[in-house]
């Protein structure tokens, strides 16, 4: 099975590298010609943990959507705010059996995929795999939490189970789930409780658990997010959500979160798809405040 990964950020490059080394032909699709050329020419250096020895992984990378025609799986790893723009021009080029899997942060991505390719081919998922670029330009594989995969339309069928086996055999362990929308909400609740605090206080994930005041702030955000979920008809157990939050933080303790990486690099963050989305569904005053504070860190103020 050929795979296309859309979005060569840290997570996209990690997924592409793992699957390529696991025997699946992978093509990265990038919108920046100079970066695509560099990845195609040099590959990337992948480090297992901050102290690991870097190895070079060669990757096929292109800016031309025509080069991904015929793939069996598209993995969306762009920022949430770019989902529609990234997928729109590709949908017509994908074969009728090609599956599109979003592992992005935030709420609303699966709905965009469904609109583009239909619910039968739309997959949602979450991942506890974590990665970031270090100051020497190497990709650090910093977290190894579970990756979950589910269909937009109904429980896992034979095709989805076969896909999970293929990805697991290629080195990316995947757990099929029956209710992917519930899984996506759990992920959003956890991400909205943790990521903005790492960005605002410039701390690693592990410091959220280590510092009592940040731990309390994360749990207050989580409680408010659970209230929003309940008003949307999703009864998420606090114990499960808390366990997921601190499991994810523990598994990626040394990791610099994607939102912190964006702030440090002067990029727009995904706060609108997380805290902003919860605030719009609200009332959620804590998330509204956190979203406003993170927006103030964006380049040129509020985008």
Q: Report the distance separating Cα 1 and Cα 224, nearest Å.
A: 42
Q: Give this prediction's pTM.
A: 0.88
pLDDT of res. 64: 87
Classify strands 26-29 and 3-6 as parallel, antiparallel or unpaired: parallel
**pLDDT per residue of the chain (303 residues) written in tens, 0 to 9:** 999 999 988 999 999 999 999 999 999 999 889 989 999 898 899 999 888 898 999 999 999 888 888 899 999 999 999 999 888 888 888 989 999 999 999 999 999 999 999 999 999 999 988 888 888 889 999 878 889 999 998 889 999 999 999 999 999 999 999 999 999 999 999 999 999 999 999 999 999 999 999 999 999 999 999 999 999 999 999 999 999 999 989 888 888 888 998 999 899 999 999 999 999 998 999 999 999 999 999 987 444
pLDDT of res. 234: 93
pLDDT of res. 89: 81
Angle at 85 between CA 36 and CA 107, to 5 degrees: 110
Phi, psi angles (nearest 5°) of residue 149: -140, 135
Using left for φ > 0, alpha for ψ between -120 and 50, and beta otherwise, residue 171 falls in left
67 contacts 89 by C-beta, under 8 angstroms: no
Instruction: List the domains of the chain with CATH numbers.
Output: 3-178 (3.40.50.720), 183-295 (1.10.1040.10)
Q: Report the distance separating Cα 5 and Cα 183, nearest Å.
A: 22
Q: For all residues of the chain together, what is the average pLDDT?
A: 92
Known active-site residue 187? yes
Q: Report the distance separating Cα 270 and Cα 63, nearest Å.
A: 23
How far from the centroid of its chain's Cα atoms is residue 173's Cα? 16
């Amino acid at each position: 099975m050929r795979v296309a990964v859309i979005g060569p950020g840290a997570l996209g490059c990690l997924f592409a590298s793992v699957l390529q080394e696991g025997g699946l032909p992978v093509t990265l699709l990038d919108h920046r010609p100079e970066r695509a050329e560099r990845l195609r020419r040099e590959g990337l250096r992948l480090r297992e943990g901050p102290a690991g020895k870097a190895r070079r992984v060669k990757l096929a990378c292109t800016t031309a959507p025509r080069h991904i025609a015929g793939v069996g799986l598209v993995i969306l790893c762009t920022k949430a705010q770019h989902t529609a723009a990234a997928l729109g021009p590709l949908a017509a080029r994908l074969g009728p059996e090609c599956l599109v899997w979003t592992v992005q942060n935030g709420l609303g991505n699966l709905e965009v995929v469904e609109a583009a390719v239909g619910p039968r081919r739309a997959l949602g998922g979450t991942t506890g795999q974590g990665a970031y670029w270090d100051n020497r330009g190497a990709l650090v594989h910093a977290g190894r939490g579970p990756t979950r995969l589910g269909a937009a339309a109904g429980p896992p069928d034979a095709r989805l189970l076969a896909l999970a086996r293929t990805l697991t055999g290629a080195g990316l362990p995947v757990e099929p789930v029956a209710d992917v929308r519930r899984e996506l909400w759990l992920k959003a609740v956890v991400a909205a409780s943790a990521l903005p605090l790492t960005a605002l206080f410039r701390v690693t994930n592990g410091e959220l658990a280590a510092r009592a005041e940040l731990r309390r702030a994360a749990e207050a955000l989580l409680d408010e997010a659970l209230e929003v979920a309940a008003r949307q008809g999703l009864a998420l157990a606090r114990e499960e959500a808390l366990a997921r939050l601190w499991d994810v933080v523990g598994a990626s303790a040394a990791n610099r979160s994607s939102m912190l990486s964006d702030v440090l690099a002067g990029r727009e963050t995904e706060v609108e798809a997380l805290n902003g989305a919860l605030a719009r569904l609200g009332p959620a005053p804590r998330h509204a405040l956190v979203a406003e504070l993170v927006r103030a860190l964006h380049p040129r103020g509020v985008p």
